[in-house]
A = this chain, B = another copy of it.
Amino acid sequence: MPVIKVFPQDVDRKLTEVFARFGYDGASMELLSQATGLKKASLYHRFPGGKKEMAKHVLLNIRAWFLDRVDAVIRDTSRPLDVRLEEALMAISDLFANGDRNCPLRMLSAGSESASFQESIAACFTILSDGFALVATENGLPEDIAKAKAMEAIINIQGSLVLSRAMNDNNIFRTSISAIPKLLGQGN
């Protein structure tokens, strides 16, 4: 008998994908089961709290992912600032499949259970915001301006992603991402 048929990281990836595509209410246990390749009872074995726990688990993963691939990268002062920012932006693009996939944070931030996830979601955005603000500060911008520019960068990411999906044109997302270094004072 197989001990583990599907690796946890693969399950996590698929769960994120389904929640990002259908949102919390649209992501049925049946869909989650098919996507992960685990039967419903097996999903309940791994996540006794059911769908809600799966969503929370996905959000914890994203938070860890942001800390590792954005926060840590940007704070690694042993490398040039522009390279660090570029790498963080590439990681972010990856998370959204270069504009082809909706933001799982946004998709879980609305719906019948949104209140349960609000804290985790806000925490993720704060990590991103602090990272961007640090870049802007290192680029010589005063702190209040840096914070405003950081928010603007996140607004551009989220807004361009919404429009890329709505207009079915991921160039909108790509263009916005490529404008962020300059927005944060890079190359001035």
Q: Mark A residues whose CB is within 8 Å of B.
A: 21-26, 102-103, 105-107, 109-112, 118, 121-122, 125, 151, 154-160, 162-163, 165-168, 172, 176
Return the chain B residue nearest A167 by Cβ.
Answer: B122
| Chain B residues, Cβ within 8 Å of A165 | 109-110
| Chain B residues, Cβ within 8 Å of A121 | 166
CB < 8 Å neighbour of A151 from B102, B125, B157, B163: B163
Q: State the oligomeric state as a number of copies.
A: 2
Return the chain B residue nearest A21 by Cβ.
Answer: B110
Q: Are B160 and A106 in contact (CB under 8 A)?
A: no
A92 to chain B, nearest CB (A): 14
Q: Are B26 and A111 in contact (CB under 8 A)?
A: yes
Contact A105/B26 with A110-B21, A159-B154 known, Cβ cut-off 8 Å? no
| Chain B residues, Cβ within 8 Å of A103 | 162
Return the chain B residue nearest A172 by Cβ.
Answer: B151
CB < 8 Å neighbour of A125 from B21, B22, B167: B167
Return the chain B residue nearest A110 by Cβ.
Answer: B102
Q: Can you report 18 A-B residue pairs in the complex whose CB atoms are below 8 A from each other?
A: A21-B110, A22-B25, A22-B110, A22-B111, A23-B25, A25-B111, A103-B162, A109-B165, A118-B168, A122-B166, A125-B163, A151-B163, A151-B172, A154-B163, A155-B159, A158-B159, A158-B162, A162-B162
